[in-house]
Structure 1
C-alpha cells in the first residue's frame, strides 16, 4: 500500500499510526497538497490527503474511510475500535469530535495564512469551535479511569485526539493551553511517549512555505 501525504497533517498521521499498530507495511509518499497538488490530483481529484493506494490500484480517500478499510484488514480481534453497539458509537463520537477539531484548525490555518485580509468573524467562529471541543474532550477524558480512552491500549479515539493536540500545539500555539486541559495534556504525553507515535512525526510547516 502507498500512503500519500505529509505527517504534519493530523489526518495523515492518524492513518500512519494505525497502520503501524496493525503492522501493515506501506510506502510513504510525503506529497504536499500545495506543492504536489497536480500529481496528487491524478489519484484524488479533491487534491487532499491522506490518500491510500491499495495493492490492486484502488484508491481510498478520507481518513475515516481509509481506517474503516484498515480495520477490516486487521480483523475483529485486532481492530482499534469496537465492532458494534454502544461502545463503538462512543468511540466514533470521540473520533468525530477530534477530527472535527482538526478540520477547524486547518480551516483557521488557511484563513490566516492564505488571505490578505482574514475574516475576523470566521476566525472568531473557528476559535470558539476549537475551544468548545477541547472543553468537551477535557471533561470526558477527566472521567476516564483507564490509561487510554476505552481501556489499557490505544484505539482510534486516542490516536485522533493525540494527533489533534499535537497539531494544535504546533499550528496554533496561542490556543494551546495545557494548564486549562490537564487531562488532555496527560493523554497526549502518554501517546506521544509511545514508539509508534514517535516514529510518525513531522513538525508543522506553513502551506505558504511548502507551495
Structure 2
C-alpha cells in the first residue's frame, strides 16, 4: 500500500503511525497538497491528505476510513487498543475528541496563516478556538486513569491524542497552550519518546 501526504498533517501522521503499529507494510510518499498540487492530483484528483492506494490500485481517502480498511483487510489478528468493552467505548470517545481537536487546530491554522489578514473573521476564529479548548478540556478529564492509552497494543486514541497534542504545540501555541492540559501534555511527551513515534516524526 502507498500512503501519500506529509507528516506535518495530523491525519497523515496518525495514519502512518497506526499502520506501523499494526506492522502493515506501506510506502510513504511525502507530497504537499499545496506545493505539489499537480503531482498529488495525478494520484487523487480530490487532493486530500492522507490518500492511500491499495496494492490493487484503489484510491482511498480520509484517515479514519484508511485505518478501518487496514484493520479489516491487512491487520490479520492484530488490533488496536483495549479489549474491555468499557475501555473500548472510552477509546472511541477519546479518538473522536482527538480528531475534533485536530480539525479545529487545522481550521485555526488555515484561517490565520493562509487567509490574508484583512479577510480573517475574528468571530469565526474565536468560535474555533472555543471548540478546540472544549475538546481539550474533555480529553483532559477523560484520560485520568486511562493508563492503557499507550499500552500494548497501542490504542487508536493514544495515537490520535498524541498526534493532536504535537500539532497544537507546534502550530498554534499562541491560541492554545498544551501545558494548560498537563495530562494530555504528558501523554503526548511519552508517546513522542517511543521508537514508533520517533520513526514517524512530525515534519
In 1, the alpha carbon distance for the partners of 2:34 and 2:51 equals: 15
In 1, the alpha carbon distance for the partners of 2:154 and 2:185 equals: 15
The alpha carbon displacement at 1:46 in A equals: 2.4
In 2, the alpha carbon distance for the partners of 1:83 and 1:34 equals: 40
1:182 maps to: 182
Instruction: Give the 3-state SS of the residue equivalent to 1:52 in structure 2.
Output: strand
The alpha carbon displacement at 1:45 in A equals: 2.9
In 1, the alpha carbon distance for the partners of 2:144 and 2:88 equals: 20
Instruction: Give the 3-state SS of the residue equivalent to 2:6 in structure 1.
Output: coil
Does 2:140 correspond to 1:142? no
Q: CA offsets, 1:119-146, max 9 Å, x none?
A: 10111011101111110000111242x2
Q: 1:178 to 1:84 in 2, by over 3 A?
A: closer
Q: CA offsets, 1:22-53, max 9 Å, x none?
A: 12221111000111222222332321100011
The alpha carbon displacement at 1:86 in A equals: 5.0
Moved more, 113-122 or 59-68: 113-122
Gaps of at least 5 residues in structure 1 are: 204-211
The alpha carbon displacement at 1:109 in A equals: 0.9
Superposed, 1:104-143 pairs within 5 Å as: 104-116=104-116, 117=118, 118-143=120-145
Superposed, 1:189-208 pairs within 5 Å as: 189-203=189-203
Moved more, 43-52 or 87-96: 87-96
Instruction: Give the 3-state SS of the residue equivalent to 1:45 in structure 2.
Output: coil
Report if the CA contact (8 A) 2:168-2:178 is conserved.
Answer: no
Gaps of at least 5 residues in structure 2 are: none
In 2, the alpha carbon distance for the partners of 1:199 and 1:81 equals: 20
Q: RMSD of the TM alignment (CA)?
A: 2.0
Instruction: Give the 3-state SS of the residue equivalent to 1:57 in structure 2.
Output: coil
The alpha carbon displacement at 1:81 in A equals: 4.3
Moved more, 10-19 or 87-96: 87-96
Q: State TM-score, norm by structure 1.
A: 0.87
Report if the CA contact (8 A) 2:140-2:181 is conserved.
Answer: yes
What is the number of equivalent residue pairs in this alignment? 200
Instruction: Give the 3-state SS of the residue equivalent to 1:149 in structure 2.
Output: helix
The alpha carbon displacement at 1:181 in A equals: 1.1
Q: State TM-score, norm by structure 2.
A: 0.90
Instruction: Give the 3-state SS of the residue equivalent to 2:60 in structure 1.
Output: strand
Superposed, 1:51-62 pairs within 5 Å as: 51-62=51-62
Q: 1:24 to 1:131 in 2, by over 3 A?
A: same
Superposed, 1:59-70 pairs within 5 Å as: 59-70=59-70
1:24 maps to: 24
